[in-house]
Amino acid sequence: MSENGSLKPQFTRGAVDVISRQIKYDGYFQIHKLRLRHRLYRGGWSGEMERELFVRGNAVGVLLYDPERELIALTEQFRVGALEREGGPWCLEVVAGMVEEGETLEGVARRELQEEAGLEVVDLHFIRSYLPSPGGTCERMHLFCACVDLSGVGGYFGLADEHEDIHLRVFPLDQVLDAVASEDGVIDNAASIISLQWLQLNRDHLGR
């Protein structure tokens, strides 16, 4: 049991000494090479070490849910990070996009819903934010649930100049929840799983 019962880590940002930072790649994203040291639990400092950091920034994900008809809409698109995935690199996901300078999280959510689903949505519910992979990237994902009429929704979306080829698909809620609970890996990305598990816990508060 923790000595003080608190979930807060013993150390904060001040316990890290960044000795140097170099930009090794500068494209749509960046890769930084850091030389650093940090304080140790047993006292003193670690030796100097090198770490690569994938600088990706803030992202927004939006789960599309129709509480009246109990439907879920997910995007299906090619993902290079899933190239060696057993089921292939086309993934079912929540609508998502990166936050650009000067944008609010809600503004990004509405922009991406228009670009990837052709929908104007007002009813947004914040789910949570989290770090997808803090061992190597500073990206933070912010999740929302959008309640919307999904009757007649679907089709092909995305911006050609960003090489987006997106198929918006609509499924019965129970089918999607069963897929998350199964071991077949049809839905196997964190943003979608977290959003859908949140919906399981909160769907009665969203109205029908």
Query: Residue 14, Cα to own-chain centre: how many angstroms?
Result: 27
Q: Which amino acid is at 150?
A: L
pLDDT tens column, 3-45: 667 899 999 999 999 999 999 999 989 999 999 999 999 999 9
Question: What's the fold here for domain 58-205?
Answer: Nucleoside Triphosphate Pyrophosphohydrolase (3.90.79)
Q: Which residues contact 103 (CB under 8 A, 6 or more apart)?
A: 111
Q: What is the pLDDT of residue 122?
A: 78
Query: Which residues have a catalytic role annotated?
Result: 162
Cα Rg of the chain (Å, integer): 20
pLDDT tens column, 142-199: 999 999 999 989 899 877 777 889 999 999 999 999 999 998 889 999 999 999 999 9
Residue 141 to residue 124: CA distance in whole angstroms: 16
Query: What is the mean pLDDT of the segment spanning 47-51?
Result: 97
For the entire predicted model, the pTM comes to 0.92
Residue 59 to residue 29: CA distance in whole angstroms: 13
Q: Where in the sequence of the chain do the CATH 3.90.79.10 domains occur?
A: 58-205
Task: Please choose, from the candidates 176, 6, 174, the residue with its C-alpha nearest in 3D space to the C-alpha of residue 75.
Answer: 176
Tokens found for residue 154: 């679907």
pLDDT for residue 101 is more than 70:
yes
